[in-house]
Structure 1
Amino acid sequence: MSVREKSVKAVKPPAAPTTEAADAKASLLLRKAADSYAFPALDSVAVQFARSLRDLIRALGVPSVQVERASAETMSFADWTAASAPAIFWRYYAPPLKGPILLGAPRPLLLQLVDIFYGGKGSLASEREELTDAEDRFAARLGRDMGLQLAAAWGDKLTLEPELDCVTGDPAKLAAVRADDELFVQRFILRGAPLEGRTIACAYPLAALRGIAGAEPVAEIPGNADPVWASALHKTLREVRLPVRSVLARPEISLVKLLALEVGDIIPIGMPRHVPITVAGRSFALGSIGEANGNAAIMIEQIEKGPNHD
C-alpha cells in the first residue's frame, strides 16, 4: 500500500451535524408514547419550589420544618380535588401557559399556620367549614407568596408571572378546569411537628404543558417566540375593564297606565330567584340577590358555558 493510499484512508469524512445543542435545551415535554407524557424539566422546578416552600413556612414561624418531595402523578381534576378535601385551593393565571396553575393544601394546615403566625403553637380547634376574615386574608397572602416562589422556581425554564385570581375551598369555583381534565400533580410533604405529614400539592393541566412544549399546534402571533412579550401582553389584556350588568326586574305595563302615571305612583315588580349577569353585552352567569358587608350584592351561582363549553 502506498503512502498516498495510507493518507487517504487516514482522512475521515466530516462529522454529520449533531443535535446535541438542540437536545440540551430544557424541554417541558418528552413524548414517550402515543398517549403517555413525561415532564423532565418540572423535576428541577419541583426541587426549587420545595426549597422555597420550606423557607416560606419557616419564616411564618416553624423554623424546624422540612419539605419532602413525593412522587408526581397524573390524575383527573375531579379525583385530585376529591382526594384533597377538605382543602384550600389557589388558582393562578400564568401566561404563557395555556391554562392555570393550581395549588392545594388541607384546610387544617391553613388553620395551623394562622395559629402559628399569630403566636400560637399550631394547635387545631374544632373543625369547621367557614374561615374567619383573618383566615381569608391570611390564605390570600399565603397564596401571593407561594405565587412568587413558583415564579422563582420556573425562572431558568420559562418566564412566568403567576397571578393569583382565586382562593377557595370549593373546587366548583375553579371554573377554568373541568372535572375530566388531566392534571400533572406534584406533592410536597411537610416534616416536623406540628405540621408533620401535611401536604401541599401543585397541579398543572396537561393541556397547558403540552401547549408550551409544542406538542400541540399553537397559532402563530407576533412575538410568540418571546415569552416575556407574551406574558406582558396577557397581563395587559387582563387589566382591560369590561361593563358588568344585571337586570333585577323587567315590569310591563300597558300604554294606558304608563300615560296615567304621576309622581308618587308605584309600579309593582316581582323579584326573581335568579338574575342574569352580562359582561360586555354577553351572557356570563346567573346569580341570586343578597347582601355582603352592608351592601347589596349578587352571588354567582352558575357560570354560563359557551358553544365550546369554555
Structure 2
Amino acid sequence: MKKSVPQDVLNLLVNNSRKTNDKVSNGDSYANVQSYDLTNPDYKIHDLLPTLELIYRRFAQNFRHSLYNLLHTGIESKFERVDSLKYGDYINENRATEVQHLFRVQSLKCSGFFALDTKLVSAMVELFFGGPGDSSDDGDREMTQTELRMVRRFLKSAIDNLQQSWETILPFRVRLPEYDSNPVSTIFTSDAELILVSRFRLKLANKEGHLHIVLPYRALEPVREKLHTFKFTEQDPEWRQNLRNSILMAPVEMSATLCNVQLSLEQVLKLQVGDIIQADMPKLVSVKIAGIPCLQASVCRDDDMLALKVSRKVNSKIALQNKEDV
C-alpha cells in the first residue's frame, strides 16, 4: 500500500522549484560573468613586462649616449612602454611613414624588426654632416643611398646597446642582414600572432619621432623563467639598499655555551638541591648567531652582569661548511 505525500510537503517542493527556475531564467545574475583562459599567452606576458621595461629603460639611456657619439649633438631618447598585441592590430596602425628593418636574434633563434619614423632619417643625415637637422622633408619618398647607409649605422648602434642591455640576463646576439623593403612579411604568417612592441620616442634637433623594437612572443617563451626570476637588485641600487636595510633590521638569536660537563646517569640521579657541579671555564667560547659560529669571545663581568668580550671573528662560510660536513 503506497503512502500519500502530505500536502504541505508538496507545496514546499513546488515553491522551491519555482524559485530555482526564476534564478536560472534571470539573466542579470550572470551578466558580469566573463570567461578567463589561463592558457592564453596574453595572460602570461604580464609577468615579463617589469623585466622587459627595466631592460629597455637601460637601452634608452645607453642609446642616447651612442647617438651623441654618432651625430655629435644632444639627443633625447625616452622609453615609453612595452605593448603586447596581435600583429594584425599593429599593422593597422599608420605604418606608411616609417622604415622597417629585419634583425636576427641568433641566441634565441628568432627574428624581429625595427620600425623607425622616416622623418628622423633626413634629420640624422643633416646632423651627421654638420647641418642643423631642421629639414622640412618628412621622408614620404624613396630613400637615397646616403640615407640607407645612415639608417644602417643608426641600427648598428641600436643593436650594440640592445645586446649590452640584455647581457645581464641572457646572451642576446643580434645580426643585421642586408636592407629589405618588406622584412615583416618574412617573420609573421598570421595576423593573430602575438608580438611585443617596445616603444621609444626620439628627438633630433626639432624632429621628433618613434622607434619600435618588435619581437614575437614565441621567441621569449623558452626563456620566460629567466626573465621572471631576474633579480632586480642587480639593476636597481636603491631597491637593493632598501632590501639590505630591511634585512639588517631582522632579529637574530645569539647563543654561547660557557661550559660542557660530562656526568653519568647515576651521578645525575644522585644530584640534590645545593650540590655544586665543578666545571673548567674555557678561555674562549664560541658565539653562534642563528646557529652558525661567528665570533670567539672571552667570559668577563660588566658590573654585576656576566658578559662576553669579543676576541675575533670566525669565517662563517668555513664554519657553515664544516657543520654541513659533519
Q: What is the TM-score when the length of structure 1 is the normalising length? A: 0.53
Q: Determine the structure 1 residue equivalent to 2:39.
A: 34
Gaps of 5+ in 2: 1-36, 227-326
The answer to whether 1:205 aligns with 2:210 is no
Between Structure 1 and Structure 2, how many residues are aligned? 182
Pick the aligned partner of 1:87 from 82, 85, 98: 98
Distance apart, 1:60 and its partner CA: 3.1
Measure, in 2, the Cα distance between the counterparts of 1:90 and 1:102: 5
Shift of the alpha carbon at 1:134? 1.1
- Structure 1: how far apart are the matches of 2:150 and 2:204? 22
- Give SS of 2:57's match: helix
Amino acid at match of 1:167: Y
Give the letter for the 2:81 counterpart. S
- Corresponding residue to 2:55 among 20, 34, 45: 45
Q: Corresponding residue for 1:64?
A: 74
SS at match of 2:102: strand
Distance 2:167 2:125 in 1: 29
1:96 is the counterpart of 2:107 = yes
Corresponding position: 1:161 with 2:166: no
Give the direction of change, closer, same or farther, for the CA distance of 1:124–1:79 in structure 2 (3 Å limit): farther
Alignment partner of 1:71: what SS?
strand
What residue identity is the alignment partner of 1:100? S
The structure with more radius of gyration: 2
Q: Could you tell me which residue of structure 1 aligns to residue 280 of structure 2?
A: none
For 2:116 and 2:158, locate their aligned partners in 1 and report how far apart those are by CA, in whole Å: 12
Return the letter of the residue paired with 2:96.
Answer: A
Contact 1:60 1:116 survives alignment (8 Å): no
Residue 131 of structure 1 is matched in structure 2 by: 143
> For residue 34 of structure 1, what is the amino acid of its counterpart?
T
Look up the SS of the partner of 1:60 in the other structure. Answer: helix
Counterpart residue type for residue 207 of structure 1: R
Counterpart residue identity of residue 114, structure 2: L
Q: Give the equivalent residue in structure 2 for 1:109.
A: 120
Q: Which amino acid aligns with 2:171?
A: T
Give, in angstroms, the shift of residue 119 of structure 1: 1.9
Residue aligning to 2:266: none
Consecutive unaligned residues of structure 1, counting only runs of 5 or more, are 1-31, 216-310
Question: What are the within-5 Å matches in structure 2 for residues 183-222 of structure 1?
Answer: 183-191=195-203, 193-196=205-208, 198-213=209-224
Cα offset, 1:152, TM superposition: 0.5
The answer as to whether partners of 1:54 and 1:67 remain within 8 angstroms in 2 is: yes
Q: Which amino acid aligns with 1:205?
A: P
Identity percentage of aligned residues: 20
Q: CA RMSD in A?
A: 2.5
